[in-house]
Amino acid sequence: MLNTQLVLAAEGAPNPVVPHLSEIILGFVAFLLLLWVLRKFAVPRFEKLYEERTAKIEGGIEKAEKAQAEAEQALEQYKAQLAEARTEAAKIRDDARLEAEQIKEELRADAQEEARRIVAQGEAQLQAQRAQIVAELRAELGRNSIELASRIVGEALEDEARRRGTVDRFLAELEASGNGAAGARN
């Protein structure tokens, strides 16, 4: 309302709502020239820059993702290798334990065998010595007996054949009685 009053009050002044043709034409041409400049130079340059920037950022992201994937792959590989090494170590340990067990067993068997062998040898030796001693004793005893007998009897038993027969008979009797006593003892 204020505006209309002011407009009406200004007598003789041109109506501000009626455009000047020269201004329309000038405004139109000036704007078209500006539009042409922006369309031809400014906007394509900006759009090119944006594309480059997008490409650069996307490239960077892609590179980072690739690096991450590679790192993950390496990690997986190391983990797998570690697991493999662990399994192998465990296997080696088991094998070693098994082997040790086996060696121990073998050693024990050998030792037992040896012991048995030594014991057997000792027994055989003892048997042999005993037999020898028995034989020696038997000869000594025979001689001593004859000595004693000849002394007691007072006469020399000159007949070798007879003497041998007598002594052997005596010893056989002695042995028979001794065996009977030993069997009773056993």
Partner 1 sequence: MGALVLAQGDEFVAPGAKDFNLGPIFGEGTFVTKPMVLAVLAAVIVGAFFLLATRNLKIVPNRFQFAAESIYDFGRNNIAREQIGAKDFRPFVPLILALFSFILVNNIFGIIPVIQFPVMSHIGFPLALSVLVVYPVYHYVGFKRHGFVGYLKKETVPAGAPGFILPLLTPIEFLQKFLINPITLALRVFAAMFAGHLLLLVFTLGGEYLLLEASAALKPVSVVSFAFAIILTFLEALIQVLQAYIFALLSANYIGAALAAEH
With vertex at residue 33, the alpha carbon angle to CA 32 and CA 39, rounded to the nearest 5 degrees, is 85
Residue 165 found at the interface with partner 1 (CB under 8 A): no
Gap between the Cα atoms of 78 and 68, Å rounded: 15
Q: Of 11 and 155, which has the nearer Cβ to partner 1? A: 11
Residue 52 found at the interface with partner 1 (CB under 8 A): yes
Token readout for 18 is 């009626």
What minimum distance in Å lies between the beta carbon of 62 and partner 1? 16
Token readout for 89 is 């170590």
Residue 9 found at the interface with partner 1 (CB under 8 A): yes
Nearest to 178 by CA among 141, 128, 129, 127: 141
Near partner 1 by CB under 8 A, which window of 21-29, 62-70, 131-139, 147-155? 21-29
What minimum distance in Å lies between the beta carbon of 68 and partner 1? 24
Give the number of other Cβ atoms within 10 Å of residue 7's Cβ.
13
Q: Of 50 and 78, which has the nearer Cβ to partner 1? A: 50
Near partner 1 by CB under 8 A, which window of 16-24, 59-67, 80-88, 116-124? 16-24
Q: Of 43 and 96, which has the nearer Cβ to partner 1? A: 43
